[in-house]
Structures are given as C-alpha cells and as structure tokens.
Structure 1
Amino acid sequence: MFKAIADPTRRQILGILRGGRRTVGEIADNFEMSRPAVSKHLRLLRSAGLVVTRKDGTASLCDLNAKPLRTIQDWLQDYEAFWSDTLHSLKKHMEEGQ
C-alpha cells in the first residue's frame, strides 16, 4: 500500500479518480507519459486494492477504491497522537525553562 501511494504520479491518478470513473485513456490524457507507463501505475494501484478496473467493450473503466486508505489513516492517527503529546511536552518543558 505504501509503495502504491509513495509515487506522486499514482497519487495524482487517485486524485483524478476521486472525481469519478475514468477510462485508462482519460487518465493518461492528464500526463506527459506514454499510455503503457500510465497502465503500469494503474496495475500497481490495482494490486494494492486502490483501483478497481472493469471492461466496457474495448475500454477499461477505472474506479477509486478508497477503503484500503482507511487502514493507513488509522495507523497514522496513532502516530499523530504520539507527536502531538511529544510536542506538547516539549513546549511545556521549554516554557518552564524560561
């Protein structure tokens, strides 16, 4: 999952799909790279479960599946609380030292 969202191009693809279903061609039109290169990014996003693709005639339609991102969000919230507490303690320590 982290590998899938680490790349800025893949994050941009996810952003495009937030707007709704798109064909591979419509997604590729947003980039200055070959369609096969975009397809490679989509394959990685599919393998991470973030994109669902289905055929409609000759077109491949892509949809965002944001549910797996919930796992990352939940995991990061634990660290957010840790850093918030740590920074609060540092601030208190610095104020007491003045």
Structure 2
Amino acid sequence: MRELRASFRALADISRLNIVHELADRDELKVSDLAKLVKLSQPLLSWHLRKLRRAGLIITRKDGRQVFCSLNRAQLSSCESLLAQLVGRDRSVGA
C-alpha cells in the first residue's frame, strides 16, 4: 500500500504525468531531449525526475555527461497489480 501511495503521490502532477507519457513510448530518452518534449526547463525537469525516481517510477543512468531516463516498467506493473487488487477488494466489500 505504501508503494502505491508513493507512486500516486509522484503522479499527482500534470508535468510528471506528461513525463511518464513521453517515456511510455520509448525505451530511453536523454534528459535534454525530454525537456524539449515536455517543455520544461532543465532544472525543473530534474526536480520532477527526482520525485519520480524516488517513487521508483523511473530509472536514470549516466553516460559521460549525458543523463538518460526510462520508465521502471516493473514498478509500474507492480503498482497496476496492487491497484487491481485494491479495486477488486473494494467491489466485493460494497456488493
């Protein structure tokens, strides 16, 4: 439950949802390219990426001076499963 709450808290911002949306269609993106796609300054994007990384939703890696990011699809899948369990449990309680 704590994991799910942290994920939803990280996704409770339109900019972070846009970041996840852009990363969903790609294996990996340079942070500088992602900044252009989501129309955020590099410092602001870094702040949002830190929130998503702390929630376990994205993975970052460095290659020299370049920083790349990608979705942590395993974590997102886990959150999806937890949410499905929660919704399933709520339906049986309310029935």
TM-score above 0.5: yes
Q: CA RMSD in A?
A: 2.0
What amino acid is the match of 2:74?
Answer: K
Aligned length: 87
1:76 counterpart (64, 78, 83): 83
Cα distance in 2 for partners of 1:64, 1:57 equals 21
Relative to structure 1, the CA distance from residue 29 to residue 84 in structure 2 (aligned partners, 3 Å threshold; closer, same or farther) is: farther
Percent of matched pairs sharing the same residue:
36
Extract unaligned runs of 5+ from structure 1. 90-98
Task: Provide the secondary structure at the position in 2 that maps to 1:33.
Answer: coil
Greater RCO, 1 or 2 (C-alpha within 8 Å, sep 6+):
2
Question: Looking at CA atoms only, which structure, 1 or 2, has the larger radius of gyration?
Answer: 1
1:28 positional shift: 0.2
Report what 1:49 is aligned to. 56
1:21 equivalent to 2:31? Answer no
1:85 positional shift: 8.0
Extract unaligned runs of 5+ from structure 2. 1-6
Report what 2:43 is aligned to. 36
TM-score normalised according to structure 1 size: 0.74
Runs of 4+ aligned residues of structure 1 deviating over 3 Å after TM superposition are 82-86
2:18–2:38 CA contact under 8 A, matched in 1: no
